[in-house]
Structure 1
Amino acid sequence: MKTIAIIPARGNSKRLPEKNIKLLGGMPLLVHSIKYAKQFDFIDAVYVSTDCDTIKAIALAHGVKVIDRPEHLAGDFEPTVSALKHVLGAVNTKVDIVVLLQATNPLRPKLLLQDAFTVFNQVKADSLFTVSKNHLKFGTIKNEQFKPYNYKPGQRSQDLEPLFYENGLLYITKASCILNDEIITKDAYPLVIDHPFAKVDIDTQDDFDYAAFMLNHYNNE
């Protein structure tokens, strides 16, 4: 079966301008995901989907393929699945499995993708995505009153019913499902990841600074 990795990387970013080419540890942000994907031999090809000439040049310089994303698929409110479908329509070969790596999640445990791909093949689901356990006490505020959501007042954190969040580290989906507008399918397997990298998701300068701190910390271990 043919497996490809797709890294969507738009040129525009409102809250952190040009974040996908901003240097993190001396490398453009996008390159972290490129290098990560290229180390696994079950990935047959790596594609970057972009509307930006600078991003395109960086991707090509690092030995991956580029699909030029049309303007109407590069808007702020366009879902990621649109970019993935466009790539599948642009490649000239049949694809069976798509690995989605978001440039804004540049730090991943070294063997996470290998382990996730093994699990994906074992469970035989249409998709897999990574999640992490929440350890916080959440609530809503209505009429200036705080309403606990996942706990009762006085309850210990360790006694909370487990809640999990989609951390964005990686997604594996059958290409046929993406063509039907699904990345996370109804039978998607949630792979639980307990690692500090799961908290790195870059959207603001503070997020970027935290990623830089984490990268430096783990490089120095």
Structure 2
Amino acid sequence: MKKIAIIPARSGSKGLKDKNIIPINGKPLLTYSIEAALQTEVFEKVVVSTDSVHYANISKQCGAEVMMRGEALSNDKATTYDVIADFMERCNISIDYFVLLQPTSPMRTSKHITEAIELFEDNMDRYDFLVSMTESHFASVLVKPIDEDMSLKYFDTDFSRYRRQGYKEYSPNGAIFIAKPHAYLKRKHFFGSNAIAYIMNKVESVDIDDKIDYELAKILLMERENGKL
């Protein structure tokens, strides 16, 4: 089956400066996703979608192709759907499905991508989408809003009977998304009853969003390189 890997890498992060290319254990963060995709040896193309010439040069040096975004897709208001729809409109090959790999998941390896692809292809008659998931640290019963009055009125569970094991729930970890193009362009997201879950553990699911995530990822990557993970 024909498939492509799409790695969206917009410049100008408001949290960590230039988050997608921040140095992590000797190389730009973005390159971990490119290398993992290329190592699978299953894609027609591995393409980085970016608005930055600098990011583009890093991507090309790592072996990826590049699709430059227009100005409308270069700000933080552009959604994942906007980027993929633009990509599909400009993509010059026919594919059965695409794999979206966010550059902020450096612990995701070629093994995870290959396993997710195999799971998806084995179930394509039933599912149009795949999303990588991890077990949630907190059950949804423990996550509620707090109003301006600072009361805990929404926390109305009898916590004397609460058992974490009884609330095993999952959340997307941002590492791997797979979709059939037509189904995605129609639905505009990856979730629902015709989406299958690929489960990853907490270490594999580290997603760099802030300084704490960044420092944790550096430690875990070093541990992995030293054969301790």
| TM-score of the pair, normalised by structure 2 | 0.88
Q: Which structure 1 residue ranges, 5 or more long, are not aligned?
A: none
Alpha-carbon separation, structure 2, partners of 1:157 and 1:43: 44
Q: Give the CA deviation at 1:181.
A: 5.1
Paired position in structure 1 for 2:155: 148
Partner of residue 204 from structure 2, selected from 190, 197, 203? 197
Matches within 5 A, 1:83-102: 83-102=83-102
Q: Does the aligned pair in 2 maintain the 1:59–1:66 contact within 8 Å?
A: yes
Q: Does the aligned pair in 1 maintain the 2:37–2:110 contact within 8 Å?
A: no
Alpha-carbon separation, structure 2, partners of 1:20 and 1:122: 32
Moved over 3 A (4+): 155-159
Q: Does the aligned pair in 1 maintain the 2:135–2:201 contact within 8 Å?
A: yes
Q: For residues 92 and 132 of structure 1, do their structure 2 counterparts lie closer, same or farther at Cα, with a shift above 3 Å needed? A: same
Paired position in structure 1 for 2:24: 24
Pair 1:217-2:219 in alignment: no
Paired position in structure 2 for 1:2: 2
Q: For residues 109 and 42 of structure 1, do their structure 2 counterparts lie closer, same or farther at Cα, with a shift above 3 Å needed? A: closer
Q: Does the aligned pair in 2 maintain the 1:132–1:164 contact within 8 Å?
A: yes
Give the paired residue count: 219
* Partner amino acid, structure 1, of 2:133: V
Q: Which structure 2 residue ranges, 5 or more long, are not aligned?
A: none
Matches within 5 A, 1:93-132: 93-124=93-124, 125-132=127-134
Q: Which moved more, 1:111-120 or 1:176-185?
A: 176-185
Identity of aligned residues (%): 30
Partner of residue 183 from structure 2, selected from 152, 160, 177? 177
| TM-score of the pair, normalised by structure 1 | 0.91
Higher strand content, 1 or 2? 1
Alpha-carbon separation, structure 1, partners of 2:216 and 2:66: 29
- Aligned to 1:119, what secondary structure does the other structure show? helix
Alpha-carbon separation, structure 2, partners of 1:110 and 1:42: 10
- Aligned to 2:167, what secondary structure does the other structure show? coil
* Partner amino acid, structure 2, of 1:95: I
